[in-house]
Structure formats: structure tokens, C-alpha cells
Amino acid sequence: MIMNLLKRKRLWLALLLLAIVYITNSSLLAKPRDEAPLLLAHRGLAQTFHMEGITDETCTAERIYEPEHPYLENTLASMDAAFREGADIVEFDVQPTKDRNFVVFHDWTLDCRTNGKGVTREHTTAELKVLDIGYGYTADGGATYPFRGKGIGMMPTLDEVMSTFPDRQFLIHVKSNDPAEGVQLAEYLQALPAQRLEQLTVYGGDEPIAALSKQMPQLRTMSKASLIKFVLTYTAVGWTGYVPASIGHTQVHIPEKIAPWLWGWPTRFINRMEDADTRVILVGGDGREASSGFDTPEDAAQRIPHGYTGGIWTNRIDLVAPMYLNR
């Protein structure tokens, strides 16, 4: 008799705990949000390409879709177009130069996109500024090159981006895993006022981001290591509603296939992250394809949860922004 009572008590306690966890993490009961999502334009307004079989060695300029607009990634013009289309944040890539500047360019080498040769960081700023960054783009296997001759002198420096868009938000991508690059970028960013730094986030390889964060702990950063730390920590304690300070004031890129498994997804999770000053960016797929995003209105309508107000990663801000700006 006593054993039966103990078993029933344990069962009711277990059910009570499950009920508490459900209520604590149910978005159905969360405070509703009515603002529009944060829109992040990957590389500005850029030419897109098919992702099948892509590797780190793939020259994506050689597999673009038929161009629907005149912009090339990581240029001042593409960033301006993205902001005009409705982007809240523009992502761009940086590469260090031989003379210790930073240029805005995606690739480690010049051979894919430009008429130059060799490793980007082995060239001076002046040498990089005269290249044609549209030289290698083709949508038909090399039969035609629609941007050849149109990208001469269009590789911007980090200085040019900062001065051209002094009040805009950016996500800066460090493409290497070289800690010295993190130190160099910290030296550059430390000269900027605190108000400007609040508009910037830096992500990239574990080692340069660790080096950057050590020198500038006030800066919002993200790396693979910090993202793994976030997911593990939040999985362990997030069911309670508690968000440790160790995963606050950062940025996390959450793949759409992982997101539904996070405690409180989507609304309660976003509320918690906002309180912790952590920015959430929803990216496409399962995280294996770094460039995957939401690139058509159909993508956004079918794959993004109704009422989601976090960040959205897109490669086609011109197509996706109107569905949020015109609602």
C-alpha cells in the first residue's frame, strides 16, 4: 500500500515537472511580438549560385545563376543596394593585405573572381584596388562573362565601408583561422568610438575571434566554438528559463532544422535572447552550407515560423524584404 502511494506521488511529481517545463517553454503562452524580423543581407545584394556539391575549393563565380541585377558581392554598390532594399544589417568578408590594411573580398585567393593571381594577403592594397573583381563570373560555363570589365577598382577597403556607411549595422566575417588576423582587426576596431562598435558584429574562425574577443570583450562576436558553447549551455539550462551571462551579449546563427529543438522556440526563445542581449539569426538548412538562407518569398512564408521576429539570413534581400516591409 505504501509502495503504491510512493509510486503515485512520484508519477504526479513527474507530471507536474513536465507541465512546468511545458508552460515555461511554450511559445503559445509567451508574450507576443509584433515587430518585423531583422533582415541580414549576405554580402550585400550579390549574384547567387547553386549549392549542389559545393566545397571550400569551389569557385562559385563560375556557377552563378543568370544575373537578375547588376551588383557584385562585397562592393559599396551592393551594400548600398541592400540597405535601400530594406536590409537592417549587411554581412561582408575581410581579407588582410600585405601592407596591413583590410580589403572587403570573399576569397583567400584572387584566381576565381578576378584577373589577378595568388593569395589575397600577399598583395598590397594598391595592387588589389586595380583588379577587375567581376572578371570570373559566368552563368553559362564560360561562354560569356557578363561582369568582365565592370568590376575594375571596385574592391573596397574596410576604411571605405566604414566611412561610406557611418551609421549602418554590419556583420564582419574573418575568413581565416589565423589569430594574428584577429589581433590586427582588434587594432583597427579599437580606434572606433563605442557608439560605432555597437553597430558591428564580427564572426569567423575560432582562433581569430578568440584573439579579438580577448582584446575587445565589449564587442559582439561569434565563432563555431562560441556557437557550440551556446547550444550546449542553453540545452542544459534553458528549460528553466534561465540564460547564463556566459551566453549573453553575442550573436548566434541558428540553422532552421536545429531551431525547433531549442527551449521556447520561437517566441519565448527570442524574448529570452533579447533580454540577454544576444542576437539570433536564422539561417537555412542544417548548418552545413554556410551561405544557405531564405532567398524567395516562398522560402520565408513556408520555412520561417509565423510571428518570428529574430534575424533572417538572406542572399536576395531584394526578393525577401518586400514581404516584411509591405505588411
Cell of 19: 507541465
- Three-state SS string across the chain, please? CHHHHHHHHHHHHHHHHHHHHHHHHCHHHCCCCCCCCEEEEECCCCCCECCCCCCCCCCHHHHECCCCCCCCCCCHHHHHHHHHHCCCEEEEEEEECCCCCEEECCCCECCCCCCCCCEHHHCCHHHHHCCECCCCCCCCCCCCCCCCCCCECCCCEHHHHHHHCCCCEEEEEECCCCHHHHHHHHHHHCCCCHHHHCCEEEEECHHHHHHHHHHCCCCEEEEHHHHHHHHHHHHHHHHHCCCCHHHCCCEEEEECCCHHHCCCCCHHHHHHHHHCCCEEEEECCCCCCCCCCCCCHHHHHHHCCCCCCCEEEECCHHHHHHHHHCC
The bridge status of strand 200-204 relative to strand 169-174 is parallel
Question: What residues contact 224, with CB distance under 8 A and at least 6 apart?
Answer: 205, 206
The answer to whether 107 and 113 are in contact (CB under 8 A) is yes
For position 61, what pLDDT does the model report?
A: 97
Residue with cell 601592407: 99
For position 16, what pLDDT does the model report?
A: 58
For position 261, what pLDDT does the model report?
A: 95
Specify the amino acid at residue 111: D
Residue with cell 515555461: 24
Specify the amino acid at residue 215: Q
Question: What residues contact 78, with CB distance under 8 A and at least 6 apart?
Answer: 43, 44, 45, 46, 71, 72
Measured in degrees and rounded to the nearest 5, phi and psi for residue 102 equal -125, 130
Other C-beta atoms closer than 10 Å to the C-beta of 92 total 25
Other C-beta atoms closer than 10 Å to the C-beta of 9 total 10
**Alpha-carbon torsion (220, 283, 112, 70), positive or negative:** negative
For position 20, what pLDDT does the model report?
A: 55
For position 243, what pLDDT does the model report?
A: 95
For position 2, what pLDDT does the model report?
A: 65
For position 62, what pLDDT does the model report?
A: 96
For position 52, what pLDDT does the model report?
A: 82
**Conformational region of residue 312, where left means phi above 0, alpha means psi within -120 to 50, and beta covers everything else:** beta
**Tens-binned pLDDT, residue by residue, of the chain (327 aa):** 666 666 666 766 656 556 555 566 766 666 777 788 999 999 999 999 988 888 878 899 999 999 999 999 999 999 999 999 999 999 999 999 999 999 999 999 999 999 999 999 999 999 999 999 999 999 999 999 999 999 999 999 999 999 999 999 999 999 999 999 999 999 999 999 999 999 999 999 999 999 999 999 999 999 999 999 999 999 999 999 999 999 999 999 999 999 999 999 999 999 999 999 999 999 998 877 777 899 999 999 999 998 899 999 999 999 999 998 765
Chain length of the chain = 327
